[in-house]
Amino acid sequence: MAKDHFQGKYEVELKYRLTSKSGFLETLSQTPHEVMLENNTESDCYFDTPDLALEAQNKSLCIRTMTPSGIKLWIVKGPEEDRCEATDISDADKALSMLETMGYEIVLKATKSRSIYFVGEFHITLDTLANIGDFAEFAIMTDDESKLSQYREQLEALAAKFGLTQFDLETKSYKEMFTES
């Protein structure tokens, strides 16, 4: 079940800044959903070349470890806005070492608390970034590029059920937010 939610090379994702995490959780409690995990700590190591070639190409490379779930991921985003691919890895330390051996450098280390819920075919993440705020991401992954705009509309409708509007949308990536803070 969980694996199906994270398959595809495209991710339609809408991120909203929450004014009330408790209000969001109250709405979630009244919405049919499944829990994948709650209150995991995610540690992300973002990589780039010394000349920041990935950033210049609007690409992002990250190794993520999650505790206590034990999930470890290799994540690549870009260059298109909705392009995102992730794969499970068994040894995050080895992956970090391999990237450094290939000449990549860690440009940012970031940590957040994350819970992941499934509402139908969509997944919702509830994130807390220390000294930055609380966020909800409404998302779906797909290989079908023709469905991206349709999914975006459906995600907007789902977010509206949580009282979230265009005014709550956050367009900055977490990487950008961490870099600015």
- The set of catalytic residues is 46
CA-nearest of 6, 12, 7, 1 to 145 is 12
CA-nearest of 94, 168, 109 to 137 is 168
Based on C-alpha coordinates, what's the Rg of the chain? Answer: 16
CA-nearest of 85, 37, 46 to 64 is 46
Structure tokens at 34: 């499944």
Residue 52 per-residue DSSP state: -
